[in-house]
């Protein structure tokens, strides 16, 4: 005889029974949807332009700090509010340092050109958040995250810290200026940092 | 055991017919009471936090904002939820099976350990020696006693998980039930297994971190994040398993909901156990430590099998309710069963709101922002707390509140105090959390950071202004938060007054229309159905539920698709 019971009642007999038609259809539809959700990620690696892969390596914080200072010395073009402004050539490696409580240095990039943007920290975790485009990456001390970025629009951008890093966390803001694409090729294009 | 010993150790519940072990009952009580204290502390902190994020009010100083943010996370995610889950385990094991707690003394010891750990953590946080937020990412460092407090608490919770399992063994051996354990207990078992997996991760991270905080060993910032989230995210899956069990439990108690298919529901629970701890990856999608293959495989819980499990429960829970209602005679049309449901019963309204908010807001946003690439748009923005308040608060906390309205009469044997307010409490809370989560999510779309004291950057070296729409969203977040806190205060007052000063309820003499007793307990709906009615309902199926899940899938697909479109317009990055 057919019986049904609530979830408070112990099933007395074998409960491994075939599912009804509606349940079967829903489970199948859900499974197919799950496979689509899964397939989208590898597909975006192949077809899409935004992936968090990058070049990933461990790095000694002191060595990273030295590399950033070298980068600043190589390409510094000015200063604003005591923060050096650095204009690396297109195609080069760019080094940004997150530390309590600043993004060091300010960057000047060119629209439509690619750079390898390195992110690391010499103290705590920080969060790279690019405004107004809302691109987010975790910045972890001891790890170098090198991301190939191509600014697709000229403008005055900010980098906000969105990982709690102590009492001055909300003061941590950096600057990225993207200049409009030049018609003549930049002289040091393709140079590696 | 002689009959008199049995009658001293047990009482028979006149409504459910269950033999209730007195130690089990007392352990449910003490754990639930501490949970509610933690809920109140967390809610007051939460109120002050939303009134700070609302830039126009900007209530707290920076120091107290971050300190109370730490306290809010710990009180809500750890103390409230886990103490309540301990109560759920004592209920779903010994009480539902009519069995006993095999080791009551150990049960009390574990409670003492958990309380001691929680008090130690509170002291450290409120005295300013642990301003590290819930996540305490090294090299950010708290006082060693903070980590020690968490370890004490976790050991206590681990013991309760084992006591729950032992109670299943004892119930089986002493034949307090026939056949298989009920689905509610099976869900409790799932929660207990996930709790053990989770707490092992907890030991694996907090013990080394304690040693690191005392300078005994180094700590890698990335490895901490990996293992911490094995605890931090998986613990939310304990909540989910407990909450889904409560959905099934409340369905049965309020409207005589049935289990449409034991095989499907139980398989879905097993899928949770198998794949849930991979969710650690959700927090590491834009981290430098792991490669794309690891991220894709883990963030999807091995091809979304845990999401499949939730989608299954999302069907079987309403389908069980629909079937129960149809068996009770609400057979007309597609939705008579829903229209004529007991919406003024806080147990039922809480169950349904929890189900809808968890699925429609929490589930869709969670899967979407947990997609490897879409996470670039979401990581550490307000979209993250927007998502998890819909799951943990709108889903779990609301389900826990709803079941409390049944536990007060059943376990504490008191009438629910402030009954008129209690009847609207789930609605107030549900509306509040919906506004709160959606407003936070929209603010997060603009990149407004979470855990941030001042997005006006008034003292920073560079200026930045978010679009004016974000001000509105943060004001709405505050509005949602105020509604939620008002609902929490009603809940806490109702529970505390009922338990400590309430009118004792004689369960054998409940009358129709009695205030303070949910309708499911005035006349318990049938828990078993047989014969022609069952065959008839099998033919009808659950057309209303089919419509509901189709709408859900439509919303899910649309939200997911929109996010890929949003991602495609930002800088190329890779």
Say yes or no for a CB contact (<8 Å) between A161 and B461: no
B305 in A contact zone (CB under 8 Å): yes
Query: Residues with Cβ < 8 Å from A18, sequence gap 6 or more?
Result: none
A21 in B contact zone (CB under 8 Å): yes
For residues B521 and B507, what is the distance between their CA atoms, to the nearest angstrom?
9
- Span A76-95, pLDDT tens digits: 999 998 999 999 999 999 99
- pLDDT at residue A190, rounded to an integer: 45
pTM of the model: 0.94
B540 in A contact zone (CB under 8 Å): no
Comparing alpha-carbon positions, the chain A residue that sits nearest to B61 is A167
Query: Over 60: is that where the pLDDT of A136 sits?
Result: yes
B468 in A contact zone (CB under 8 Å): no
- pLDDT at residue A185, rounded to an integer: 52
- pLDDT at residue A183, rounded to an integer: 64
B452 in A contact zone (CB under 8 Å): yes
Residues of A in contact with B131 (CB under 8 A): 166-167
Query: What share of chain A has pLDDT > 70, as a percent?
Result: 94
- pLDDT at residue A184, rounded to an integer: 56
Which residues, given as ranges, of chain B have pLDDT below 50? Answer: 1-2
- pLDDT at residue B71, rounded to an integer: 98
Residues of B in contact with A167 (CB under 8 A): 62-63, 66, 131
B470 CA: distance to closest CA in chain A (Å)? 12
Say yes or no for a CB contact (<8 Å) between B177 and A10: yes
A159 CA: distance to closest CA in chain B (Å)? 10
For residues B31 and B242, the answer to whether their CB atoms sit within 8 Å is no
CA B64-B59-A128 angle, 5° bins: 65
Query: Residues with Cβ < 8 Å from B525, sequence gap 6 or more?
Result: B252, B253, B254, B255, B256, B324, B328
- Span B69-117, pLDDT tens digits: 999 999 999 999 999 999 999 998 999 899 999 999 999 999 999 999 9
B276 CA: distance to closest CA in chain A (Å)? 15
- pLDDT at residue A193, rounded to an integer: 37
For residues B502 and B417, the answer to whether their CB atoms sit within 8 Å is yes
Instruction: With both helix axes pointing from N to C terminus, report the angle between B346-356 and B398-407 in degrees, rounded to the nearest 10.
Output: 160
- Span B555-570, pLDDT tens digits: 999 999 999 999 999 9
List all residues of chain A from 151 to 190 with a beta carbon under 8 Å from chain B: 151-152, 158, 160-167, 169-175
Residues of A in contact with B178 (CB under 8 A): 10, 12
List all residues of chain A from 37 to 76 with a beta carbon under 8 Å from chain B: 37-38, 40-42, 44-45, 48-54, 56
Q: pLDDT confidence of A192, banded at 50, 70, 90?
A: very low
Q: Environment class of residue B11 by beta-carbon count within 10 Å: exposed (0-12), middle (13-18) or buried (19+)?
A: middle
ipTM of the complex: 0.93
Please give the backbone phi and psi of residue A48, each rounded to the nearest 5 degrees, phi first. Answer: -85, 165
Query: Over 80: is that where the pLDDT of A122 sits?
Result: yes
């Amino acid at each position: 005889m057919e019986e049904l019971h609530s979830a408070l009642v112990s099933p007395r007999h074998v409960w491994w029974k075939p599912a009804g038609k509606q349940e079967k259809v829903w489970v199948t539809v859900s499974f197919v949807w799950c496979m689509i959700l899964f397939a989208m990620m590898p597909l975006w690696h192949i077809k899409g332009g935004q992936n968090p892969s990058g070049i990933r390596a461990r790095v000694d914080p002191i060595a990273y700090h030295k590399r950033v200072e070298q980068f600043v010395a190589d390409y510094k073009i000015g200063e604003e509010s005591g923060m050096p402004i650095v204009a690396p050539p297109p195609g080069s490696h760019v080094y940004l340092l997150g530390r309590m409580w600043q993004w060091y240095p300010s960057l000047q990039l060119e629209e439509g050109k690619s750079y390898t943007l390195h992110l690391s920290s010499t103290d705590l975790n920080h969060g790279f958040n690019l405004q107004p485009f809302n691109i987010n990456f975790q910045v972890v001390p001891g790890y170098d995250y090198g991301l190939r970025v191509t600014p697709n629009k000229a403008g005055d951008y900010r980098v906000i810290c969105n990982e709690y890093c102590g009492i001055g966390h909300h003061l941590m803001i950096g600057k990225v200026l993207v200049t409009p694409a030049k018609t003549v090729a930049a002289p040091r294009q393709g140079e590696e940092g | 055991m002689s009959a008199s010993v049995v009658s001293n150790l047990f009482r028979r519940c006149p409504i459910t017919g269950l033999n209730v072990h007195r130690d089990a009952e007392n352990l449910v009580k003490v754990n639930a009471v501490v949970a509610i204290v933690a809920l109140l502390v967390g809610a007051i902190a939460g109120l002050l936090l939303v009134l700070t994020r609302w830039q126009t009010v900007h209530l707290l100083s920076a120091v107290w904002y971050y300190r109370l943010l730490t306290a809010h996370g710990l009180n809500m995610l750890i103390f409230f939820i886990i103490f309540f889950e301990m109560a759920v385990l004592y209920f779903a094991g010994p009480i539902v099976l009519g069995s006993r707690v095999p080791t009551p003394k150990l049960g009390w010891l574990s409670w003492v350990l958990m309380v001691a750990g929680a008090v130690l953590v509170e002291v450290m946080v409120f005295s300013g020696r642990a301003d590290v937020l819930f996540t305490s990412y090294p090299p950010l460092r708290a006082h060693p006693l903070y980590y020690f407090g968490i370890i004490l608490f976790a050991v206590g919770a681990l013991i309760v998980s084992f006591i729950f399992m032992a109670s299943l063994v004892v119930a089986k051996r002493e034949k307090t039930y026939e056949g298989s354990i009920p689905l509610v207990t099976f869900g409790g078992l799932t929660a207990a297994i996930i709790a053990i997996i989770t707490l092992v991760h907890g030991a694996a991270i907090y013990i080394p971190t304690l040693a690191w905080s005392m300078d005994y060993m180094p700590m890698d910032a990335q490895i901490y994040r990996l293992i911490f989230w094995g605890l931090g995210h998986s613990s939310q899956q304990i909540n989910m398993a407990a909450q889904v069990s409560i959905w099934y439990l409340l369905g049965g108690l309020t409207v005589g909901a049935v289990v449409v298919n034991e095989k499907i529901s139980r398989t879905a629970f097993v899928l949770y156990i198998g794949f849930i701890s991979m969710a650690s990856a959700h927090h590491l999608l834009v981290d430098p430590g792991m490669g794309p293959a690891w991220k894709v495989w883990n963030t999807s819980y091995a091809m979304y099998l845990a999401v499949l499990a939730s989608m299954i429960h999302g069907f079987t829970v309403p389908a069980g309710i629909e079937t129960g209602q149809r068996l009770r005679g609400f057979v007309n049309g597609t939705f008579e069963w829903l229209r004529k449901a007991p919406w003024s019963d806080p147990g039922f309204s809480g169950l349904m709101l929890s189900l809808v908010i968890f699925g429609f807001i929490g589930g869709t946003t969670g899967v979407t922002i947990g997609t490897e690439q879409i996470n670039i748009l979401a990581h550490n923005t307000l979209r993250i707390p927007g998502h998890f308040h819909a799951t943990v608060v709108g889903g779990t906390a609301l389900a826990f509140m709803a079941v409390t309205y049944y536990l007060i009469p059943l376990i504490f044997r008191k009438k629910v105090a402030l009954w008129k307010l209690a009847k609207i409490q789930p609605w107030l809370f549900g509306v509040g959390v919906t506004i709160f989560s959606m407003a936070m999510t929209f603010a997060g779309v603009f990149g407004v950071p979470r855990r941030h004291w001042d997005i006006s950057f008034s003292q920073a070296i560079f200026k930045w202004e978010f679009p004016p729409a974000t001000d509105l969203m943060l004001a709405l977040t505050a509005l949602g938060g105020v509604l939620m806190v008002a609902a929490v205060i009603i809940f806490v007052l109702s529970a505390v007054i009922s338990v400590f000063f309430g009118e004792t309820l004689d369960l054998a003499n409940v009358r129709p229309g009695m205030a303070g007793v949910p309708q499911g307990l005035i006349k318990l709906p049938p828990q078993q159905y047989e014969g022609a009615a069952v065959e008839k309902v099998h033919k009808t199926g659950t057309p209303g539920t089919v419509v509901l899940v189709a709408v859900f899938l439509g919303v899910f697909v649309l939200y997911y698709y929109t996010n890929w479109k949003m991602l495609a317009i930002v800088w190329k990055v890779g």
